[in-house]
Chain A
């Protein structure tokens, strides 16, 4: 168990900077998920913690000790790689036990610890096989075993589930969660899959373009996204965004065709903002209902448990999630109703969250 302190960490390759000053505190025993789109620098950050990538600036400390110049083996981290990185010429048992062999652990103790790990991961009957002869899920388990056997202070996962099929991914997800509860070692898990991130994380770190956009519990990140990027990246289908402008009596949306009565609370008239509303927070009502926005249905996506209804709002795409079985047919007119508490406001220039509009207001009016 160990805490990790990341201070203003930067990474540059040649001339290009890919991580721009990340600050993060990870408590001992915490399960932190770093979420972000492909290429945002998640792996790079994780590999800097592991010691596989040189740190261009700032410091990383594990248990209060700065590890910038330490070799990977001196940091007490274990890592599970995306492609598993199993040694192809070694059996499952040799793969799992390799770190102990390197550390000079006697054969008898090694065998016993391999057995113990194999029992937890249900790999006992596969110990003599080569990685080639294993299924994706089994390889994944071996990779986990190889990390577990060292009883590391910190577990690092780099998209370990992205090569598995959907069903296995869900299963391995809960196993990782259970394993963490059992070992309660500090874990940092990198993924681009927001469902994976939401379900696994004690705390979520959302990254974009080499910067941390938001740190918080999954519920916090979902209900109060700190930026426009986080708002649209977390949650599926993505949060609806409507461009607007602050006017004297509230907001004008979609180039002036719609209006919203909210207090400007200090924002200068004319400033551009974006208004976000989650598809789950929108209710479908009869067209022409007072206080609702009228729109036309484009497309209905059946999800089984619910439906995503894509509507056209003066040319802007907008989606609504409903659990009702009776839904309007494509082409028909509907009204969209939502309460002001569910609205999120973001600056169009910086993309950051604006809470100034959270004044109490009646439901949006036409």
Chain B
């Protein structure tokens, strides 16, 4: 039996919850409420109060082709970086799980990227992927003009996807490896006795048993790719070239603080929040069903 703490008086229970509630209120509900309020008003750039405009901000944003372009870019970024980060981490973890010698070292080494601040990481990748000097310069030598994220939108998108994935591969790897290690060895051995080879065992036994972890990481990776991408975009591409990497989170910043369109930025952040909420609900409703919780 699990032991649960019970309080004889509800007021004591509330008292314990107060610090957490205060934190959530101060740092989430209050700012979110403010953003909702701003998104429904027109802020004067030079101060002087705001005017209630209803849904006008949303209408003008959604009527703007630039914004739809930004949504598309964000979705492409989310899909590619999540896919890449998860598949690479899954493969590395599966290989590590089989050959455990030195796995403690991998664990430490692979969690480091997650600890690096996004701008620092982006700076490093900017050098690595620079068309004239970095690693890609070699490729450019063979096929001149093949790689130039400064001019080519696709190359720029690939650059930020690479940087973001690199950061999350380590994070995902730790979780995947833990999930693989939690599978009793005897299950794998039983499957081996049943005639199942390495790949077959992976698909029939290990993969289904780590689906809870896959699901968890999917939710985290997608959510983070919408939010944690800001620093990388800012340093590596600043949204360019030609808005090709102007992700939603970056557009909020550039429209709000560079374009001084506070109300439009507030409306955009509400849309981004709703999009993440909808995506998360979708994942829980439709993907979680296929998860085998043990």
Residues of A within 8 A of B (CB): 50-52, 71-73, 77-79, 81-83, 85-89, 98-99, 102-103, 132, 146, 150
Is A102 a contact of B200 with CB atoms below 8 Å? yes
Nearest-CB distance from A298 to chain B (Å)? 41
Size class of the B contact interface (CB-based, 8 Å): 10 to 19
A52–B192 alpha-carbon span in the complex (Å): 8
Q: Is the CB of A103 within 8 A of B195?
A: yes
Q: Write the nearest CB–CB distance from A359 to chain B, whole angstroms.
A: 53
The 5 residue pairs across chains A and B that have the minimum distance between CB atoms:
A99-B194, A85-B186, A73-B195, A85-B190, A89-B292
Report the nearest B residue to A158, measured CB to CB.
Answer: B186
Please give the distance in Å from A356's CB to the nearest CB on chain B: 48
Min CB distance A88 to B, Å, is 5
The answer to whether B66 has its CB under 8 Å from any CB of chain A is: no
Which residues on A sit within 8 Å (CB–CB) of B195? 73, 99, 102-103, 150
Question: Contact flags (1/0) for B146-189 with A, using CB distance below 8 Å?
Answer: 00000000000000000000000000000000000000101101
Least CB distance from B201 to A in Å reads: 9
Which residue of chain B is the closest to A47 with respect to CB atoms? B189
Give the residue name and chain of the A residue nearest to B183 (CB).
A88
**Bound Cα distance A79, B192 (Å):** 10
**B196 contacts chain A at the CB level, 8 A cutoff:** yes
B193 close to A (CB within 8 Å): yes
Alpha-carbon distance between A113 and B232 when the two chains are bound, in angstroms: 58
The verdict on B205 contacting chain A, using a C-beta distance below 8 Å, is: yes
Chain B, 202-242, contact with A by CB distance < 8 Å: what is the 0/1 string?
00110011000000000000000000000000000000000
Bound together, the chains give a CA A50 to CA B195 distance in angstroms of 12
Task: Give the residues in chain B near A79, CB-CB below 8 Å.
Answer: 189-190, 193
Q: Known contacts A88-B294, A89-B292; is A77 also within 8 Å of B193 by CB?
A: yes
List the B side residues contacting A102 at CB < 8 Å.
Answer: 194-196, 200, 204
A50 CA / B294 CA spacing, docked (Å): 28
What are 12 A-B pairs with beta-carbon distances under 8 A? A52-B193, A72-B193, A73-B194, A73-B197, A79-B189, A85-B184, A86-B190, A87-B204, A99-B193, A102-B196, A103-B195, A146-B194
